[in-house]
Structure 1
Amino acid sequence: MFFLRVLSMSVRTSHSASSIPAFSPPSSPPNRTPELPAALRSVSNLLSQRDYEGVVRRLHSAGRTPAIRNTLGVCLLRSGRKEEALSVFRQFVLSSDGVLERSEVSSACKRNFATALLVNGLVGGALDALNQSGEPDHPRAIELRTCLRDWERSLSWWRWLDWKINRIVAKDCQVPMNFEPGEFEFEVSLSDDARAVAEGRSSF
């Protein structure tokens, strides 16, 4: 009898244990890409057509968030309006003292600021901005540094010495780039026509 009672208790215990649902940790929410501001969504078609002037007209008064100003600055760069582009980047990348870069601004925006300085012939400022931008191993940072090294190699000995010692460059200084200036912070899908034009330009 004692054996049967123990066996019965064992069966009831195992049945109760099996009826307890297994604990499973809560699943983490899926990663979601931040949604673009409405102003940027509204110009996506223009960007896919490489209509940078059209984007500039739309975004000039669309807001002052870094995402919008960065897109505006890149489109100004790609439209050849380099002085305006530099002004846009300087306004939101630099802190109020006009010297240091804002810590909350993305590295892409800081690289774009360096690019704007570079296309305006402000090589020393471009190098400083690039050094402050972070992500030194980013492909675009590497491309910009390669452009600077190639430009240095093209200098005469006296020009090179003046640059290295005094950071002085010629007033008409130009640093050639073999890529389209500026980075968007979101994916831009080019239309077939725009892609054909871009590929045609890169082949020259």
Structure 2
Amino acid sequence: MKKLLIQRAMTGEGRFVRQTGFPRFGHVVLSVEPSSSGGLSFQWEVSPAQIPEMFRDAVCRGVSRMFEPGAKFAQYEPDGILIRVVGGSSHDTDSNEGSFEIAAMEAFVMALAPPPDEAAGLPGSSRGCPKCGGDANVVSKMLMLGKQSPREERAGARRPDQLASDECLPEALLAAPLQQFIQGCYCTRCGVGFVPDNLVKPAVVEEARKRAARRAERL
């Protein structure tokens, strides 16, 4: 098994927000640093006002599960990695353990990911939110894609839980073992994550436009 070594401190932020159905919220900021203690260790540096103590185990569990079988770093063994939990926030009613576990996973991936301009490396992105159409509230965000496009007619959807890695341009995806992640966009106003068209295969974009046109005709 390969060893995952950290040579310098890197910071990552993860935010899990769901506004439909049962609202959920979790927000974690991690500093991933080299450590002489070996293995994977954690240091809690946030106040209960930021992240309540009841979610501490969930944050640690989220990072640890990235190394479990089937996870992104399953082929790696952490060797001397210190995870400092340095920031975050919660919601009185919407936060739960699952939200913070997911947020911690994203924060860890963001810390190890290259900067947005290195991750995508493609010019001419259309950053308009697919829901409101605006770009004033759109920020860069690391998105997790599906492994393969689903069999049902969902290819080309612009929500990250529907778009699959094999529908995106290979050069837009992160290098292994992060090949299911892409530097996409997130509208803070609508709570919608999406992948710009210039990072998606042209055939997938064209099919999505055709389906949108057919839906418009039925209205």
| TM-score normalised to structure 2 length | 0.22
Larger radius of gyration: 1
Q: Which has the higher strand share?
A: 2
